Amino acid sequence: MNIDLTTIWAFIIAFAVFMYVVMDGFDLGIGILFPSFKPGHERSQAMNAIAPVWDGNETWLVLGGGGLMAAFPLAYAIILPATYPLIIAMLLGLVFRGVAFEYRWRDPSHERFWDFAFFAGSLVAALSQGMILGALLQGVAVEGRAYAGGWLDWLSPYSLLTGAGVVVGYALLGSCYLAMKLTGEAEDHAYRLAVWAALATLFLMGAVSLVTPFLESQYWDRWFTMPSLLFVAQVPLLTAIAFFALLRSIRKRRRYRPFLIALALFALGMAGLGISMWPYVVPDSITIWDAAAPERSQTFMLAGVALIMPLILAYTGWSYWVFRGKVGTEGYH
Amino acid sequence: MEADSVALLLARIQFAFTVSFHFIFPSFSIGLASFLAVLEWRWLSTGQQRYLDLFKYWLKIFAIAFAMGVVSGIVMSYQFGTNWSVFSDKAGPVIGPLMAYEVLTAFFLEAGFLGVMLFGMNRVGKRLHFFATLMVAIGTFISAFWILSVNSWMQTPTGHVLGANGQFLPGPSWAAIIFNPSFPYRLVHTVLAAYLTTAFVVGAVGAWHLLKDRANEQARTMFSMAMWMAALVTPIQVIAGDQHGLNTYEHQPVKIMAMEGHYDSHSEGAPLYLFGWPNDREQRLDYAIGIPKLGSLLLEHDPNAPMAGLDTIPDDQQPPAAIIFWSFRIMVGIGTLMLVIGMWSLVARWRRKLFDWTALHMAALVMGPSGFVAVIAGWVTTEVGRQPYTVYGLLTTAESASPLAAPAVAASLTAFVLVYFTVFGIGTWYILKLMGKPPHFGESGAAEAEQAPIRSAGITPGPAQAEGVS
């Protein structure tokens, strides 16, 4: 494989998707776990932990989608119609999740209703995202330059499995994030949740990994033929080590380590995904080169990414720095 | 084919519905972000408390409007792919990079600094906080720049070449794509419209509180600022709109024919129709009242210049003229009323009655939502007017749609209608409740920052507190 512009763009899109998945992942995870926190103060604390940053986190989704349209327009034009109901469900879930941040404070008499909207919106968005992944991996029907399947093709036991996987994975990120940000009983609760979320993630990540190679011969070949086996086997190996370290760090109630290890787990999951799919963007039919926009489009955007992305990362980092530390009940200055 | 045309119609309704709803929020938040930056700047430079009070008063409203704009905006960025996949595939190489630049230069900027703007006043200090407010305001403008460039390229496509696979590909110059012929006009007209929309909302809120209490200092300040905007910006907008119209006449004459109700060609000077009842089926303007030759005079600067009408355009290349005829008149009518208010406020100021002239306050109150109506009417004019094309003259709307089954689109459209009316209806209600409370000294911030810096609002929420006060 030679490093060309299209390859660079595949990595940029993968980076945007990864940033979205982990950053909005902990936001959505907090939403999914929201009902398990006590109404009122505990929930306010949990929401305060992300109120100043959720909007920036969600912007990565727009970059992932917009970037896909710009760099791989054909892939965008096939994947979105193929997963139509899931995309719509995700967008509507994000509507409820997003407005709940503001509405909850504005209308104390309906706080419980917006608590529920925050939870349900997060859950629907996470489940839809996981099912979109599953629908893509199990393959979509393509004819010419368009999606050629029905509007419920995405629904399968496998996509439900990946959907559940993403839900518990986000819950893991959310609980580890809250363990860093909360205090008192809520903090204890977050650590307890993290154990359960870690075990559930371990189970579902394992299940997805076991089933996936049977979906396409390419996946099987990537994972189970020599000599590539020797390289790719490092991924599950590192994942196993990471899970062990994760459970240990939660038990020892480390402050930052559980969240950092959870991030590493998602990075490993992403690497595994890349190993299976490369160089296809729509498995078995459209490669990144088939879908690529012309070089002029890619160069023009690459200049923008190279110049602006460091700035984005810098001021995003600054914003996290401004709101660093525990979300206290008092003395939070 | 029958099922396809139903699916197409549903997809068009869904796009029109979601984009109209969405645009209400940016047309408000573009202006409001700038207004907030001005208020904070006035506070920093004069040290007067009333500017800080107003800043905090409007920041709470901005937070809700911005959240609604964000969540409805994400829907738009995905709907190109879900419902207009053929368009996305074909036009993606040209407009995709512009939209990617919008995300990189605008959305991240707004979102990155919004947290500090809303909750960070006590954490970063005044200067840095003002910087964050400025970045959010500039972000809203940059966002308008890119997305209007995309829209304008679809209206007046230039700078592209056609690829062998049917895609539009970028030509040698990106500047030719970005600065396409209608873009500068559309950008100026739209941004001024956003400023006016905000000015009339602020003016109405100020008027409402002046009607109840003429001595309220913050209400006086905001009413005065809003009326300056109305008096100064409306005349500029009239000129900008006229120039935009002339540009449209040059590049999309069919749209002008529909706006003007010119079903028939006029060989010796076209009239300017003031009123009439457009009849698309019979292709004529019933009960027309017009001023002879004025249409040619305005558009061609020659009262006797011949002007072609819709009768010269094949039926399948015509937009639905009646809708455009009406929406254009609604926009122009509201613009005229805005001009009246602006001039009236100058008279009131001159006679030192700005804060005492009840009739002016009542009129400003009634005009509060007028900007939104004008903005939507303007977009209906330009978007319906470029039908039947998505990329003007090159790609039809019918060819652009995704291969989706009608039931799928019907279900999503129903869901959007239900969710949008509920969620954004409630949000609008919360905004109106905030606007109904009089601004006062020691106004609380968006995060309810009086006791604790971040949203301890969960324990001592802003509105509840304000209710306790009133």
Residue of A nearest to B431 (CA): A106
Question: By the CB < 8 Å criterion, does A306 face chain B?
Answer: no
The predicted structure's pLDDT at residue B447: 63
Q: What is the pLDDT of residues A109-161, one digit of tens each?
A: 888 999 999 999 999 999 999 999 999 999 898 888 888 888 889 999 999 99
A96, amino acid identity:
F
Which of A43, A53, A88, A313 should one mutate to test binding to chain B, selecting the residue with the greatest count of B CBs within 10 A? A88
Q: Which of B226, B218, B227, B228 is nearest to B437 (CA)?
A: B218
Work out the minimum CA distance from B82 to partner chain A, whole angstroms: 5
Structure confidence at residue B456 as a pLDDT band (50, 70, 90): very low
Preceding omega of A279 cis (within 30 degrees of 0): yes
Residues of chain A contacting B118 with CB distance shorter than 8 Å:
52
- Contact at CB, B461 and A150, closer than 8 angstroms: no
The predicted structure's pLDDT at residue B283: 84
- Listed by number, the residues of chain A in 19-48 with a beta carbon closer than 8 Å to a beta carbon of chain B are 40-41, 43-45, 47-48
Cβ(B402)–Cβ(B8) below 8 Å: no
The predicted structure's pLDDT at residue B61: 93
Structure confidence at residue B1 as a pLDDT band (50, 70, 90): very low
Mean pLDDT for the stretch of residues A54-58: 89
Q: 10 Å Cβ neighbour count for B470? A: 9
Of all helices (H) and strands (E), which one includes residue B272? Answer: strand B272-279
The predicted structure's pLDDT at residue A178: 94
Residues of chain A contacting B119 with CB distance shorter than 8 Å:
51-52, 323
Between strands B168-170 and B284-291, the pairing is unpaired
Cβ(A172)–Cβ(A29) below 8 Å: yes
The predicted structure's pLDDT at residue B288: 84
The predicted structure's pLDDT at residue A213: 87
Answer whether residue B464 shows pLDDT above 50: no
B466 alpha carbon, distance to own chain's centre: 31
Mean pLDDT for the stretch of residues A267-288: 89
Work out the minimum CA distance from A124 to partner chain B, whole angstroms: 14
Q: What is the pLDDT of residues A278-330, one digit of tens each?
A: 888 888 888 899 888 888 899 999 999 999 999 999 888 888 888 888 886 43
Which of A15, A43, A45, A84 should one mutate to test binding to chain B, selecting the residue with the greatest count of B CBs within 10 A? A84
Which of B85, B140, B168 should one mutate to test binding to chain A, selecting the residue with the greatest count of A CBs within 10 A? B85
Q: Hey, which residues does A280 pair with through a beta bridge?
A: A287
Name residue, tokens 């709109």.
B241
The predicted structure's pLDDT at residue B4: 77
Candidate from A59, A105, A301 with C-beta closest to B111: A59
Helix and strand element counts for chain B (H, E): 17, 6
Mean pLDDT for the stretch of residues A210-234: 85
Residue of A nearest to B91 (CA): A73
Q: What is the pLDDT of residues B254-292, one digit of tens each?
A: 998 888 888 888 888 888 888 888 888 888 888 888 888
Question: By the CB < 8 Å criterion, does A229 face chain B?
Answer: no
Q: What is the pLDDT of residues A95-113, one digit of tens each?
A: 999 999 989 888 888 889 9
Cβ(A255)–Cβ(A180) below 8 Å: yes
Q: List the domain boundaries for chain A.
A: 5-322
Candidate from B70, B430, B464 with C-beta closest to A55: B70
Tokens of A185: 């009983």
Mean pLDDT for the stretch of residues A264-284: 90
Quote the CA–CA distance of B117 and B119 in Å, as a whole number: 6
Give ipTM to 2 decimals: 0.87
Mean pLDDT for the stretch of residues A22-38: 94
Answer whether residue B418 shows pLDDT above 50: yes
Q: What is the mean pLDDT of chain A?
A: 90
Tokens of B290: 């017009």
Structure confidence at residue B2 as a pLDDT band (50, 70, 90): low
Give per-residue burial for A117-138: e unless 16+ CB within 10 Å, then b.
bbbbbbbbbbbbbbbbbbbbbb
Of all helices (H) and strands (E), which one includes residue B286? Answer: strand B284-291
Q: 10 Å Cβ neighbour count for B463? A: 20
Tokens of A3: 């490093």
The predicted structure's pLDDT at residue B3: 61
Question: By the CB < 8 Å criterion, does A56 face chain B?
Answer: yes
Q: 10 Å Cβ neighbour count for B427? A: 20
Cβ(B128)–Cβ(B54) below 8 Å: no
Quote the CA–CA distance of B171 and B161 in Å, as a whole number: 6
Structure confidence at residue A333 as a pLDDT band (50, 70, 90): very low
Task: Describe the crossing of helices B253-260 and B217-251 by its angle, rounded to 10 degrees.
Answer: 120
Answer whether residue B468 shows pLDDT above 80: no
Cβ(B237)–Cβ(B193) below 8 Å: yes
The predicted structure's pLDDT at residue A253: 92
Between strands A286-287 and A146-147, the pairing is unpaired
Candidate from A63, A88, A95 with C-beta closest to B103: A63
Q: List the domain boundaries for chain B.
A: 223-393
**pTM of the complete model:** 0.89
Quote the CA–CA distance of A238 and B16 in Å, as a whole number: 49
- Contact at CB, A85 and B93, closer than 8 angstroms: no
Give per-residue burial for B318-330: e unless 16+ CB within 10 Å, then b.
bbebbbbbbbbbb
- Contact at CB, A99 and B427, closer than 8 angstroms: yes
The helix, strand and coil proportions of chain B, stated in percent and rounded to the nearest 5, come to 75, 5, 20
Q: 10 Å Cβ neighbour count for A315? A: 18
Structure confidence at residue B5 as a pLDDT band (50, 70, 90): confident
- Contact at CB, A327 and B108, closer than 8 angstroms: no
Question: By the CB < 8 Å criterion, does A142 face chain B?
Answer: no
Q: What is the mean pLDDT of chain B?
A: 88
Residues of chain A contacting B97 with CB distance shorter than 8 Å:
70, 293, 297, 300-301, 304
Quote the CA–CA distance of B214 and B211 in Å, as a whole number: 6
Cβ(B383)–Cβ(B151) below 8 Å: no
DSSP state of A39: T
- What's the full length of chain B, in residues? 470
Quote the CA–CA distance of B356 and A17 in Å, as a whole number: 57
B244, amino acid identity:
H
- Contact at CB, B169 and A73, closer than 8 angstroms: no
Cβ(B386)–Cβ(B155) below 8 Å: yes
The predicted structure's pLDDT at residue A144: 85
Structure confidence at residue B297 as a pLDDT band (50, 70, 90): confident
Size of interface A-B (CB pairs under 8 A): 274
Classify burial at A141, counting beta carbons within 10 Å of its beta carbon; exposed 0-12, middle 13-18, buried 19 or more. middle
Name residue, tokens 């380590």.
A257
Residues of chain B contacting A282 with CB distance shorter than 8 Å:
none
- Contact at CB, B99 and A51, closer than 8 angstroms: no
Helix and strand element counts for chain A (H, E): 14, 4
Cβ(B150)–Cβ(B142) below 8 Å: no
The predicted structure's pLDDT at residue A320: 87
Work out the minimum CA distance from B116 to partner chain A, whole angstroms: 7
**Angle formed at CA B72 by CA B70 and CA B73, multiple of 5 degrees:** 60
Classify burial at A156, counting beta carbons within 10 Å of its beta carbon; exposed 0-12, middle 13-18, buried 19 or more. middle
Q: What is the pLDDT of residues B181-228, one digit of tens each?
A: 999 999 999 999 999 999 999 999 999 999 999 999 999 999 999 999
In chain A the first and final C-alpha atoms are separated, in Å, by: 52
Q: Which of B206, B272, B219 is nearest to B242 (CA)?
A: B272
Q: Which of B147, B172, B148, B175 is nearest to B161 (CA)?
A: B172
Structure confidence at residue A331 as a pLDDT band (50, 70, 90): very low
Answer whether residue A1 shows pLDDT above 50: no
Which of B134, B448, B455 should one mutate to test binding to chain A, selecting the residue with the greatest count of A CBs within 10 A? B455
